Amino acid sequence: MSFIQFAPPLAQSETGLEKKKRALKVVKFLKNKFPDAKIALKYANPIQLLVAVILSAQCTDKKVNEVTANIFKKYKTAKNFAGLTQGQLEKMIHSCGFYRNKAKNILAACKIIQSKFNGRLPQTMKEILTLPGVARKTANVVLGNAYGVVEGIAVDTHMIRLNQKLGFSGQTDPVKIERDLMGLIPKKEWFNYTYRIINYGRNVCPARHKKCECEIYKIR
C-alpha cells in the first residue's frame, strides 16, 4: 500500500543542506512536543519484545498489549515459546490478525534463538536479521529498545506517511526511506525520532486528515 503524498512546495526546490537544516528544526519541534515519547508495546524482556513487535504488524499496539497480557505471564523465554505447537500459538494470537504466519515466524525465530544463540536475543543487526519475521523495521525497534543498540531508524506506516508529507523522502520502500532519513537526521536522534513521529501521526495528524494544515509542515 502506498502512502505517497505531495511534498511541500519548498521541499521540491530545497538544496540538500536546506533540507537537512529543516530536518533539524523538525527534530527540535518534535522533541519539545513529545519529550517522553516511547514504544507503546508492553514487555518484560527482549524475547517478549520481539514477539510483541512481530505481532504488531498490521495490528494496533493496543490490541497486541491485550493479547500478550496473559501470554507473557506464562511465556517469558525463547525456550518457552519454542516449546509451543503452531496450533497452540495460533489460538493465543488469533485476534492479532495474520496469526498463522506470525505464529510460524515466532516459533521459528525462538527455536533459532534457543539453538544458535543460547536462548539470548542477538544484539547486532546482522544476526537479528537472520531470524524469521525480522526485517529492518522490527530489528531497529527491538535492538533499540532491548539493548540501546541504534543502527538505523525504524520506519512504520506513520513514518512513511509523515516523512513523505514533510518531503524528507519520495520513496515508498521503507528501507529506502530509512536511508534517506539517516542522511538527514542526526544519529543521536534516530531512536527517538521514530516514536515522536508516531505520536504526532496518532495524536495530531492521523491518516484521515487528507488536507491538513498541521504546524509541522509549516516549519521552515
CATH 1.10.340.30 domain residues, the chain: 46-147
In this predicted structure, the answer to whether residue 79 has a pLDDT above a threshold of 70 is: yes
Nearest 10 degrees: Cα torsion 106, 110, 112, 115:
-160
- pLDDT range class, residue 3, cuts 50, 70, 90: very low
CA-to-CA distance for 51 and 98, rounded, in angstroms? 14
CATH 1.10.1670.10 domain residues, the chain: 9-37+152-218
**Residue 108 · residue 85 · CB < 8 Å:** no
The whole-number pLDDT of residue 209 equals 66
- pLDDT range class, residue 212, cuts 50, 70, 90: confident
Query: CATH top-level class for 46-147?
Result: mainly alpha
Record: fold of 9-37+152-218: Endonuclease Iii, domain 2 (1.10.1670)
Model confidence over 4-32: pLDDT tens digits? 454 555 556 789 999 999 999 999 999 99
Model confidence over 134-186: pLDDT tens digits? 999 999 999 999 999 999 999 999 999 999 999 999 999 999 999 999 999 99
The whole-number pLDDT of residue 115 equals 97
The residue-averaged pLDDT of 57-75 equals 97
Instruction: Compare 115 and 7 and report the one with higher pLDDT.
Output: 115
The whole-number pLDDT of residue 6 equals 46
The residue-averaged pLDDT of 101-110 equals 98
In this predicted structure, the answer to whether residue 2 has a pLDDT above a threshold of 70 is: no
Instruction: Report DSSP state, residue 215.
Output: G
- pLDDT range class, residue 213, cuts 50, 70, 90: confident
Mean pLDDT (the chain) is: 94
For residue 215, give Cα distances in angstroms to 160, 193, 200.
18, 17, 11
CA-to-CA distance for 157 and 190, rounded, in angstroms? 16
